[in-house]
Structure 1
Amino acid sequence: MKKTALITGANKSIGFETAKQLLQQGYKVFIGSRDAGRGEKAVNELKAAGFEDVEAIALEVTDAVSISRAADLLSSKVPHLDVLINNAGIPGTYPQEAGSVSQENLRTVFDTNFFGLIEVTQAFLPLLKQSDAPRIVNVSSDLGSLGFNTDPGSRHYEVKPVAYNSSKAALNMYTVILAYELRDTTFKVNSVNPGYTATDFNNHTGYKTVEEAAAPIVKYATIGEDGPTGKFFSDYGDTPW
Structure 2
Amino acid sequence: MTVTVITGANKGLGFETARRLIEQGHTVYAGARDPHRGAEAARTLGARPLLIDITDDASVTAAAESVRAEAGHVDVLINNAGIAGPTALAGELTAADLQQVYDTNVFGAVRTTDAFLPLLRASSGPAIVNVSSSLGSLTINADPAAHTDILPAWAPLLAYNSSKAALNMLTVLYAQAYPQITVTTVDPGFTATDLNGHQGTQSVEQGAAVIIAAALSGTDAPTGTFIGASGPVPW
TM-score, normalization by structure 2 = 0.96
SS, match of residue 124 in structure 1? helix
Greater percentage in helix? 2
Which residue number corresponds to residue 212 of structure 1?
A: 206
CA RMSD of aligned residues (A): 1.1
Equivalent positions of 1:92-131 (< 5 A) are: 92-94=85-87, 96-131=88-123
Q: Tell me the matched-pair count.
A: 231
Deviation at 1:158, TM superposition (A): 4.7
Tell me if the contact between 2:30 and 2:49 (Cα under 8 Å) persists in the aligned partners: yes
Q: Does 1:240 align with 2:234?
A: yes
Q: Within 2, Cα distance between the matches of 1:127 and 1:104?
A: 33
Deviation at 1:93, TM superposition (A): 1.8
Q: Does 1:227 align with 2:221?
A: yes
Which residue number corresponds to residue 129 of structure 2?
A: 137
Read off the aligned partner of 2:159 and give its amino acid letter: A
Listed one character per residue, the Cα deviations across residues 20-40 of structure 1 (whole Å, up to 9, x for unaligned) are: 110010000000000011111
Structure 1 outlier segments of 4+, above 4 Å? none
Q: Within 1, Cα distance between the matches of 2:65 and 2:219?
A: 28
Q: Within 2, Cα distance between the matches of 1:79 and 1:67?
A: 16
Q: How much identity, in percent, do the aligned residues show?
A: 47
Listed one character per residue, the Cα deviations across residues 159-202 of structure 1 (whole Å, up to 9, x for unaligned) are: 0111100000000001001001112x2x1001001110011111
Gaps of 5+ in 2: none
Deviation at 1:154, TM superposition (A): 2.6
Tell me if the contact between 2:4 and 2:29 (Cα under 8 Å) persists in the aligned partners: yes
Q: Within 2, Cα distance between the matches of 1:130 and 1:195?
A: 32
TM-score, normalization by structure 1 = 0.93
SS, match of residue 130 in structure 2? strand
Which residue number corresponds to residue 3 of structure 1?
A: 2
Equivalent positions of 1:13-28 (< 5 A) are: 13-28=12-27
Listed one character per residue, the Cα deviations across residues 135-164 of structure 1 (whole Å, up to 9, x for unaligned) are: 100000000001111122333575011110
Q: For structure 1, which segment, 221-230 or 168-177, has the greater mean C-alpha deviation from structure 2 after superposition?
A: 221-230
Tell me if the contact between 1:88 and 1:112 (Cα under 8 Å) persists in the aligned partners: yes
Q: Does 1:182 align with 2:181?
A: no
Which residue number corresponds to residue 32 of structure 1?
A: 31
Deviation at 1:223, TM superposition (A): 1.0
Read off the aligned partner of 2:126 and give its amino acid letter: P
Tell me if the contact between 2:21 and 2:28 (Cα under 8 Å) persists in the aligned partners: yes
Change (3 A) 1:215 1:104: same
Which residue number corresponds to residue 68 of structure 1?
A: 61
| Residue 166 (structure 1) aligned to one of 150, 162, 166 | 162
Tell me if the contact between 2:140 and 2:234 (Cα under 8 Å) persists in the aligned partners: yes
Which residue number corresponds to residue 90 of structure 1?
A: 83
Read off the aligned partner of 2:172 and give its amino acid letter: V
SS, match of residue 225 in structure 1? helix
Q: Within 1, Cα distance between the matches of 2:120 and 2:176?
A: 16
Q: Within 2, Cα distance between the matches of 1:211 and 1:97?
A: 30
Q: Within 1, Cα distance between the matches of 2:146 and 2:232?
A: 17
